[in-house]
Amino acid sequence: MDIKINIADKSGKTVKMELKDEQGAVLHGKKIGEKFHGELIDMPGYEFEITGGSDYCGFPMRKDVQGIMRKAILTTTSTGNRYKRKGMRLRRTVAGNTIFNKTTQVNLKVIKYGPEPLIKEEQEKKE
């Protein structure tokens, strides 16, 4: 299954790319908060940190839920819950913190920049 990657830049812009099956397999087993080198996704010189993602049904990944399975957890206002009433807690289904073959989106943030610019000038003109 293809993995969509959203790379957040410190300037507030986001770069989106898609990894095919073989390329995406290098991320399997990595957890939220782990760092890895950009050579794994064909971006030499960069270093990234995994900040989140979602599975094939759209359930968000949470750092505090271990493993690859989904769980129904009791949450207050946080990842996977947007209600803001004071004291309100809801049971929400979320995905675990580990990337596996049914993860469809992974969010990354740049830790170390490489020699090539992350955002090309052509992309900026389109936006």
Q: Is residue 8 part of a domain?
A: yes
Q: Is residue 80 part of a domain?
A: no
Q: Is residue 29 part of a domain?
A: yes
Q: Is residue 75 part of a domain?
A: no
Total domains in the chain come to: 1
Q: Is residue 15 part of a domain?
A: yes
Distance of CA 72 to the CA centre of its chain: 20
Confidence of residue 122 (pLDDT cuts 50, 70, 90): very low
Q: Is residue 71 part of a domain?
A: no
Alpha helices in the chain (DSSP H): 21-24, 121-126
pTM: 0.84
* Candidate from 22-26, 91-95, 122-126 with smallest mean pLDDT: 122-126
pLDDT tens for each residue of 32-79: 999 999 999 889 999 999 999 999 999 999 999 999 999 998 887 776
| φ, ψ (nearest 5 deg) of residue 72 | -95, 110
| φ, ψ (nearest 5 deg) of residue 25 | -65, -20
SS3 content of the chain, % helix, strand, coil (to 5): 15, 40, 45
Q: Is residue 48 part of a domain?
A: yes
Domain of residue 47 covers 3-63+97-121
